Structure 1
Amino acid sequence: MFVKSLTRIIPFALLLNLTGCSEPKMPEPMGLTYLTQAPLKVDVAHIEVVKKFKSKNQRPHVEHEFPVPPIAMVQQWVHDRFLAVGKSGTMTVTIEDASVVEVVLKGTKGFKGLFTIDQSERYDANVALKIEVTDDAGTSTGFTNASAKGSKSVSENMTLGQRRKVWMNLMEKVLNNLDGEVERNVQTHLGKFLK
């Protein structure tokens, strides 16, 4: 009787052990692919960044918890991708959105939930920009908009350090997509200012 009970308990204990020890799958590092490209040369004397977006600093917004806030990453992207080569005029990049919202996901309920490692949260990132060129008198001579979105979910057994890696991977994806969108829109709507 004791042996029979033991043979039932051991597989159950092993299953619990295997379930608890499984490593969360980490995303492949993406990197900022736009860094391999030459900056866009713009026929203006100055390039300015206006940070219109203000983080709410409370959940479900979590951009303020990122190791590098998304708005700072977008600002750095502007400096990496545009180069002022003209003698007059200003190009202003207004960051209208640089938010990340945490969405709590429903887990597996009941007995099955004890043995399931669920995706517990999804992070939805959104970046939106307005790019405008003005002359020295402040008159607008052209503008365009661009935006990019991305989402990634995390499993409930991820550590804070692992989540931060997911967040950075998410922002790299969004910035790479934003870069492609901006380049297309600038070529289309502000092409006369490119050198």
Structure 2
Amino acid sequence: MMGLSMRGMSLALAGGMAMMMAACTSAPVQTYPDVTWRHLQPIAFSAGPIEKVAAYGVPAANDLQPDLPFDLGRMAMNWPDDRLQTVGTNDILRYSVTDAEITTANLKTKSGLSGMFTDDQSQKVDLKVGAKLELMSEDGTPKGEVAAVVERSRTLSESMSVAEREKAIYDETAALLMDLDRELDKQIHKNLARYVLK
């Protein structure tokens, strides 16, 4: 009788531990691919090496990026790897990411009985990215530059899961980076066209 009691206690303890471990195990973290521009035709410059500078500083207190499984600033830093080629001279291209923010603010939602039956937009997400491309001679003399800053915003409903919110923010981030590419491309062909190889 004592043996059964001890065995029962052991099984109960093992079951309890298994339940605790299951409760502590979080769902798998969703991974998102880096945004790339490899599908686009590279812009060929009559220049030499490309320098990259992360000049966007420390995230603001309400910046979401530390809690997201992707990073706007890091992906923006990859832009010249996919979009720029250099041929022919010792002139230097310096690419700087000057802004990279994904900030959030809570929105007012309905309370009480009406709030229970309403799926309100509970959060506003603002995204901003900026970059600058400078062309200079080997000794550092400026020869030209272009800059672009693009922004997007979207709201998230209170019924969205954490995974749904992350996916929505990632999709907006990808669209924002494509906006940046289009603006930089336009500025380059407008203001640095004489250094671009046709």
TM-score band, normalised by the shorter chain? 0.7 to 0.9
Q: CA deviation at 1:78?
A: 2.2
1:149 is aligned to 2:160: no
Corresponding residue for residue 96 of structure 2: 94
Q: 2:179 aligns with which of 157, 171, 177?
A: 177
Q: CA deviation at 1:110?
A: 3.0
Aligned counterpart in structure 2 of residue 54 of structure 1, from 54, 57, 75: 57
Task: Map residues 22-41 of structure 1 onto 2, 5 A cutoff.
Answer: 34-41=37-44
Q: Secondary structure at the match of 1:108?
A: coil
Q: What per-residue deviation string (whole Å, max 9, x for no partner) do you get for residues 50-79 of structure 1?
A: 101123363x11122221210111012221
Partner Cα distance (2:149, 2:162) in 1 = 28
Cα RMSD after superposing both structures: 1.8
TM-score (norm 1): 0.78
Please give the alpha-carbon distance, in whole angstroms, between the structure 1 residues aligned to 2:124 and 2:148. 24
Per-residue deviation, 1:118? 1.1
The Cα offsets for residues 115-139 of structure 1, whole Å up to 9 and x where unpaired, read as 1111111110011111110110111
Matches within 5 A, 1:34-183: 34-56=37-59, 58=61, 60-183=62-185
Q: How far, CA to CA, are the matches of 1:33 and 1:90 in structure 2?
A: 23
Describe the superposition over 1:64-122 as per-residue Cα deviations: whole angstroms up to 9, x where unpaired: 22212101110122211111223311111111101111021111233210111111111
Q: Distance in 1 between matches of 2:184 and 2:66?
A: 25
Instruction: Identify the structure with bigger relative contact order (alpha carbons < 8 Å, sequence gap 6+).
Output: 1
Indicate conservation of the 8 Å contact 1:55/1:61, yes or no: no
| Structure 1 portions without partners, runs of 5+ | 1-30
Distance in structure 2 (CA, Å) of the matches to 1:129 and 1:70? 12
Whichever of the two has the greater Rg, that structure is 2
Report the number of matched residues. 164
% identical equivalent positions: 26
What's the offset of the Cα at 1:45? 1.0
Q: Which runs of 4+ in 1 moved over 6 A?
A: none
